[in-house]
């Protein structure tokens, strides 16, 4: 069995797609699924005519606004590998969801808008990947539109984030006049239908280029035709010559792909393309299969690795309710870390020590689901109505294990949630408890307001809009948010909570999720006066990206 587990793990590629808002994450997620033959045709982000919207944006609010609000999992097979693809929100207000997803993947695809280059959220996400030692592949998107100079983009990445881009494709034609790419590594001879096998070769490949042609309507795979050097020069003359010279320059400055520096997080293999019309997406999927790491032994909370062949283990990195109006249930997303998962097996929850059944287990494809009988390291499994599980919990069989806790973020926005129909108080409480368990917001209570008026704490104000929209849509409870004049919070103890209950300009909250006490303050200057007025007071920061 142990050799079978290792073989199945070696077939897995589990990665997240991350970027700044509007860089095209959901579009490229759909395009990857199209190349993986997991869907038969692509739709635009908003959907046009009879076209479906992107498969990963299942929430009505996402479809209305054309943005990703919550992460989504897709699984499909490609070239003998099982691809577990996680699409994530790009907006900074939902970064906590994105950061949790990054704990469950082995690699990341970072999208850059070719016209905008590195943006604030992109920089933050690169830093998170660096801190977590997650290898990053960069896809410079929207090259079919006006864009920055390609060499300028490469230099910007290296200068601003300190990671060296190693282009594996190089564009022929400037942004907005995209002709195709020079393949700077061996992508296998797909022209005769064969598949790449083994690790990708480094260094420049045979001269020539791959020419792209958009499919009618952009719903099917783009046409990719290989042109030898003579044909490329004849068709695209100056554009091809310039691209070839720039590609040679990259070799001279040692910007060729190196698997060792990629795995060490020192370089980022880089591709150019246009996800909406599927240009370059096939190369990206091939690259992921060839160089993205397969699952490896993960460290537990004590820093000891749990080998893949050890008994089953996994952790909850996300909880989501009501993904499908016909189900109206709760799904706990589990990253399988070791061993073999089998539906119906009895597992132990590390935090409580209690056992639970896994009878209702499913794989996800956006909002669609299928019953899963078995899963292996790297896979994402949804446990249905596992109400005893919370985000960050570990489950296992055999030898006990507990994985490190997931990051929790310091809130910067606070709002009092007002319910308008008291006859729906029971639904209101159930909805708030559900959204709190999912980590959509932190739910707090204070003596000043009472249990009928919970206070929501969030990283960004859009989280409040999501809460109000989901309460109305999923629980039929209309509510509004009254913004409060607080911008930061500190942890305190029971003694501190008692001492500060009547302090002016601050508010003390209890957090039922973990029994903690939080002090909300209007600004950092109020902290100093509070400390001066109350010697010995416990007042600890909630670390962004850390626990709290």
Backbone angles phi, psi at 457, to 5 degrees: -120, 130
**pLDDT score, position 97:** 75
pLDDT tens string 489-534: 999 999 999 999 999 999 999 998 888 999 999 998 999 999 999 9
Could you check whether 2-168+255-291 and 298-396 share the same CATH topology?
A: yes
pLDDT higher than 50, residue 53: no
**In the block, which residue shows the tokens 């989504």?**
72
Predicted confidence at residue 198, as pLDDT, reads 35
Please tell me the CATH code under which domain 298-396 is placed: 3.40.50.300
The reply to whether the predicted model has a pTM over 0.85 is: no
Q: Residues 345-369: what's their mean pLDDT? A: 87
* Distance from the Cα of residue 314 to its chain's centroid: 18
Alpha carbon distance 102, 407 (integer Å)? 10
CA distance 30 to 8: 25
91 is in an annotated binding site: yes
Domain 2-168+255-291 in CATH: superfamily?
P-loop containing nucleotide triphosphate hydrolases (3.40.50.300)
pLDDT in the model for residue 41: 66
Spatial separation of the C-alpha atoms in residues 140 and 128, rounded to whole Å: 19
Rounded CA gap, 9 and 45, in Å?
33
* Average pLDDT of the residues of the chain: 85
Residue 89 annotated as binding site = yes
Average pLDDT over residues 450-477: 88
The CATH class given to the 413-541 domain equals alpha beta
- CA–CA distance, 418 with 414 (Å, rounded to integer): 13
* Domain boundary assignment for the chain: 2-168+255-291, 298-396, 413-541
Please indicate if the annotation marks 87 as binding a ligand: yes
Highest mean pLDDT among 8-22, 133-147, 368-382, 469-483: 133-147
377 annotated ligand-binding residue: no
pLDDT band at 179 (very low <50, low <70, confident <90, very high): very high
Q: What is the secondary structure of 415-467 as a DSSP string?
A: EEEEES-GGGHHHHHHHHHHHHHHTSSEEEB-TTT-TTS-EEEESSTHHHHHH
Average of per-residue pLDDT across 479-488: 95
Rounded to whole angstroms, how far apart are CA atoms 398 and 469? 42
pLDDT of residue 57 exceeding 80, the answer is no
Residue 64 pLDDT greater than 60, yes or no: no
pLDDT in tens, 89-137: 655 555 667 788 889 999 999 999 999 999 887 888 888 888 889 999 9
CB 441 within 8 A of CB 470: no
| Partners of 209 in the β-ladder | 227
pLDDT: which is higher, 341 or 367: 341
pLDDT of 245 strictly over 90: yes
| Neighbouring residues of 234: CB distance < 8 A, sequence distance ≥ 6 | none
């Amino acid at each position: 069995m142990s050799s079978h587990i290792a073989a199945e793990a070696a077939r897995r590629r589990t990665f997240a797609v991350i970027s700044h808002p509007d860089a095209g994450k959901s579009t490229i997620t759909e395009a990857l699924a199209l190349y993986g033959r997991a869907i038969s045709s692509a739709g635009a982000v908003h959907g046009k005519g009879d076209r479906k919207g992107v498969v990963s944006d299942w929430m009505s609010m996402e479809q209305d606004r054309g943005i990703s609000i919550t992460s989504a999992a897709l699984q499909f097979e490609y070239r003998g590998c099982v691809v577990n693809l996680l699409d994530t929100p790009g907006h900074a207000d939902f970064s906590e969801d994105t950061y949790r997803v990054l704990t469950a993947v082995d690699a990341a695809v970072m999208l850059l808008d070719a016209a905008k280059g590195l943006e604030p959220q992109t920089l933050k996400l690169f830093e998170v990947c660096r801190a977590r030692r997650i290898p990053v592949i960069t896809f410079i998107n929207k090259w079919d539109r006006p864009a920055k100079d390609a060499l300028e983009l490469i230099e910007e990445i290296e200068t601003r984030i300190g990671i060296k881009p190693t282009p594996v494709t190089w564009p022929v034609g400037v942004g907005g006049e995209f002709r195709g790419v020079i393949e700077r590594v061996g992508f296998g001879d797909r022209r005769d239908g064969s598949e790449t096998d083994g690790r990708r070769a480094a260094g420049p490949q045979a001269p020539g280029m791959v020419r792209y042609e958009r499919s009618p309507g952009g719903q099917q795979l783009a046409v990719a035709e290989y042109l030898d050097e003579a044909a490329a020069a004849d068709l695209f003359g100056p554009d091809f010559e310039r691209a070839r010279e720039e590609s040679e320059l990259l070799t001279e400055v040692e910007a060729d792909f190196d698997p060792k520096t990629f795995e060490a997080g020192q370089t980022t293999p880089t591709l150019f393309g246009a996800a909406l019309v599927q240009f370059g997406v096939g190369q990206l999927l091939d690259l992921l299969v060839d160089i993205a790491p397969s699952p490896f032994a993960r460290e537990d909370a004590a820093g000891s690795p749990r080998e893949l062949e050890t008994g089953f283990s996994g952790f909850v990195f996300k909880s989501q309710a009501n993904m499908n109006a016909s189900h109206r249930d709760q799904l706990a997303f589990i990253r399988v870390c070791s061993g073999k998962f089998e539906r119906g097996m009895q597992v132990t929850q590390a935090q409580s020590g209690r056992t639970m059944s896994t009878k209702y287990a499913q794989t996800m494809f956006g909002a669609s689901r299928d019953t899963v009988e078995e899963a292996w390291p790297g896979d994402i499994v949804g446990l249905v109505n596992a109400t005893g599980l919370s985000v960050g919990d570990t489950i296992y069989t055999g030898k006990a294990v507990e994985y490190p806790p997931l990051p929790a973020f310091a809130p910067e926005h606070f709002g009092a949630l007002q319910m308008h129909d008291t006859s729906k108080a029971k639904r209101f409480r159930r909805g708030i408890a559900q959204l709190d368990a999912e980590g959509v917001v932190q739910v707090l209570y204070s003596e000043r307001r009472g249990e009928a008026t919970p206070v929501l704490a969030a990283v960004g104000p859009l989280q409040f809009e999501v809460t109000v929209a989901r309460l109305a849509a999923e629980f039929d409870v209309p509510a509004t948010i009254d913004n409060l004049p607080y911008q930061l919070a500190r942890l305190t103890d029971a003694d501190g909570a008692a001492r500060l209950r009547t302090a002016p300009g601050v508010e003390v909250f209890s957090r039922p999720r973990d029994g903690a006490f939080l002090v909300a303050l209007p600004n950092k200057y109020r902290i100093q006066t509070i400390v001066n007025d109350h010697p010995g007071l416990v007042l600890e920061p909630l670390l962004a990206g850390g626990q709290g």
